[in-house]
Amino acid sequence: QVPFTVLQGEGVEYLGHANDAVIAISNYRLHIKFKDSVINVPLRMMESVECRDMFQLHIVCKDSKVIRCHFSTFKQCQEWLKRLTRAIARPAKPEDLFAFAYHAWCLGVCIDEEDQHAHLCRPGDHVRYRFQMELVRMGFDLQNVWRVSDINNNYKLCSSYPQKLLVPVWITDKELENVASFRSWKRIPVVVYRHVRNGAVIARCSQPEISWWGWRNADDEYLVTSIAKACALNPGVKVSGGVLHSGSSDGSEACDADFDSSLTACSGVENAGAPQKLLILDARSYTAAVANRAKGGGCECEEYYPNCEVVFMGMANIHSIRNSFQYLRAVCSQVPDPSNWLSALESTKWLQHLSVMLKAAVLVSSAVDREGRPVLVHCSDGWDRTPQIVALAKILLDPYYRTMEGFQVLVESDWLDFGHKFGDRCGHQEKVEDQNEQCPVFLQWLDAVHQLLKQFPCLFEFNEAFLVKLVQHTYSCLYGTFLGNSPCEREMHNIYKRTCSVWSLLRAGNKNFHNLLYMPGSEQVLHPVCHVRALHLWTAVYLPASSPHPLGQEDMDIYLPPGSQSQDFSGRCLDRLPKTRSMDDLLSACDSSSPLTRTSSDPNLNNHCQEVRAGLE
């Protein structure tokens, strides 16, 4: 008998026993049931499996979990090793991923397939029409200053960019083509955000292809300086009294004392008639940027880009981040806990990398909000460190992105539309065996968002469970949101119509993910503390309760038909955060005349109270 509730479209392929446990492999997950607990892991979340000490399977997961399963014989251990190795192998084609089977079942349970798809699988209109709605919300002057170029229709210019690109109105498509020939992977500078109060914008791109020959491109130089000129022609709405609202986690430590820069000084917004000096923020170190010239890349020279300033942030590349994460996973999975825990954690450099990312985002947000300066962000290719900085800066600047709806728009716009390679970075891309392409870039960014949530607990509409669930489904392949490497690839495989969206689960109406401390209406700009000492290890992800789930809490997102699907999904425990209750009189609380209104943190507490009460009587 299958020891768990089978998901829609899920078929059990292997069922057997380990020591004191029932183990099963389906086309979606590995399930291990012990006497008093259960472990569920999606197959695509597993990074590797190996046999240790002859009788133990050692399973390493992409979200840092490590699972150990003991068998009674070496032969039995080897059999399950072969089964799991086959199960977690890279898919031969996208359709081999469970997201397609899950979606097909969801359509099959309803007569009206189109209505069912809209109800269950698609995100809301705020995601589907995000580009047009964001242009209106941020107040771009599309008549005189900015224009939406169709040069990338059908992804004919750049396959990793969205089809609609926002540029200054006087920049022609011919000039954009010339710029594309000068930027790595043809990822040209385009605008992705506008500060409503002062008109300053954030743009993004990839590195210029200068090489050792020192090539220049007049159209590229013209486009970059034109972005600053356009900001001056489309100034923001002045705030009455000239006061810009801002907030910080600690008034005495609003910004790092040792992170002093003229870029973060509160110099105020100058006359809108003169273009502000554009900040080009290169996520790499100066050494790495210059070294890229040997491979045909490079960085901008201030001499050739008038009224621009280039700053290097020194963020690590994906190989260093991958190594750091592997060290972190090794430290967090040690049994028993290491006596040198703090020094071991420090040696992983994970929190140090987070600190640098936060500093880069603070630099961008301060330049935009305090000085009214436009900012152009890039790294090497513009699809890893660039979205980390840009998306984090937008959260700092704009309270809309701290809502559940706005956060969905942010992920879709800055990560999915601009070609972050989820397939390669998460390791579920078909027919690819290069492990060097894997890196938890998006997970690292979610960790940075978690740090902001810790420092500003009342300014985010979503809670930590929302972020934890997003981490899980980045790798689970239950939803199609994070499949593929680019918007072009997702459209080519028709993933949008053939899979469910993760936002159908993480929708604003799902109260499991709503932050009860949230104060709507705040217009604060966030100034987080970036010191390593102010950052916290994300224990909900890296040290997930060290104990498996209690029975009955399998942490699977089981579909409910439209008629029975309530907004709060009260029948399921999705967030796994501890629920507690306080009572002045515990015995009276157990009385039948005083029904419990909150879930007890200990499921055995009610029975225990009844026994105590009976003994006293």
- Provide the pLDDT for residue 248: 46
Q: Kindly tell me if the per-residue pLDDT of 59 is higher than 70.
A: yes
- Provide the pLDDT for residue 563: 36
Alpha-carbon distance values, 64 to 80, 160, 539, 540 (Å): 22, 29, 11, 11
- Provide the pLDDT for residue 251: 38
Is 293 labelled a binding residue? yes
Domain segments of the chain as ranges: 12-89, 120-235+276-542
- Provide the pLDDT for residue 209: 96
**417: enclosing H helix or E strand:** none
Q: Kindly tell me if the per-residue pLDDT of 334 is higher than 80.
A: yes
Q: Kindly tell me if the per-residue pLDDT of 572 is higher than 90.
A: no
Q: pLDDT band at 339, cuts 50/70/90?
A: confident
Could you say which of 77, 121, 255, 379 is catalytic?
A: 379
Question: Higher pLDDT residue, 177 or 608?
Answer: 177
Question: Higher pLDDT residue, 284 or 115?
Answer: 284
Q: Active-site residue 379, yes or no?
A: yes
**326: enclosing H helix or E strand:** helix 318-332
Question: Does the fold of domain 120-235+276-542 match that of domain 12-89?
Answer: no
Is 292 labelled a binding residue? yes
- pTM of the entire structure? 0.84
- Provide the pLDDT for residue 456: 97
CA pair distance 552, 554, nearest whole angstrom = 6
- Provide the pLDDT for residue 458: 97
The CA angle 275-278-281, to the nearest 5 degrees, is: 170
Number of H helices, E strands in the chain: 21, 17
Question: Higher pLDDT residue, 31 or 374?
Answer: 374
In CATH terms, the fold of domain 12-89 is PH-domain like (2.30.29)
Q: pLDDT band at 589, cuts 50/70/90?
A: very low
**Strand ranges for 53-187 from DSSP E:** 56-61, 66-70, 146-149, 165-168
**154: enclosing H helix or E strand:** none
- Provide the pLDDT for residue 114: 60
Each residue's pLDDT tens digit, 192-245: 999 999 999 999 999 999 999 989 999 999 999 999 999 999 998 764 433 444
CA pair distance 291, 269, nearest whole angstrom = 36
- Provide the pLDDT for residue 2: 60
Mean pLDDT of 564-592: 37
- Provide the pLDDT for residue 165: 98
Each residue's pLDDT tens digit, 60-78: 999 999 988 889 899 999 9
Each residue's pLDDT tens digit, 188-205: 999 999 999 999 999 999
Q: Kindly tell me if the per-residue pLDDT of 330 is higher than 70.
A: yes
- Provide the pLDDT for residue 115: 62
Each residue's pLDDT tens digit, 109-118: 655 556 655 6
Each residue's pLDDT tens digit, 516-551: 999 998 889 999 999 999 999 999 999 976 434 444
Each residue's pLDDT tens digit, 411-429: 999 999 999 999 999 999 8
Is 25 labelled a binding residue? no
Query: Nearest CA to 58 among 74, 46, 45?
Result: 46
Mean of per-residue pLDDT scores for the chain = 83
Is 318 labelled a binding residue? yes
Is 490 labelled a binding residue? no
| Interacting residues of 514 by C-beta distance below 8 A, sequence separation 6+ | 404, 461, 462, 463, 508
- Provide the pLDDT for residue 406: 97
Contacts of 320-328 spanning 24+ positions with Cβ under 8 A: 320/353, 321/353, 321/439, 321/440, 321/441, 321/444, 322/438, 322/439, 322/440, 324/348, 324/349, 324/350, 324/353, 325/64, 325/350, 325/439, 325/440, 325/443, 325/444, 328/64, 328/542
Is 212 labelled a binding residue? no
Is 250 labelled a binding residue? no
- Provide the pLDDT for residue 369: 97
- Provide the pLDDT for residue 137: 96
Is 33 labelled a binding residue? no
Query: Nearest CA to 225 among 264, 280, 265?
Result: 280
Q: Kindly tell me if the per-residue pLDDT of 561 is higher than 60.
A: no
Identify the three-state secondary structure at position 135: helix
Each residue's pLDDT tens digit, 250-283: 433 444 434 433 343 333 333 446 889 999 999 9
Query: Nearest CA to 375 among 396, 388, 390?
Result: 390
Class for the domain spanning 120-235+276-542? alpha beta
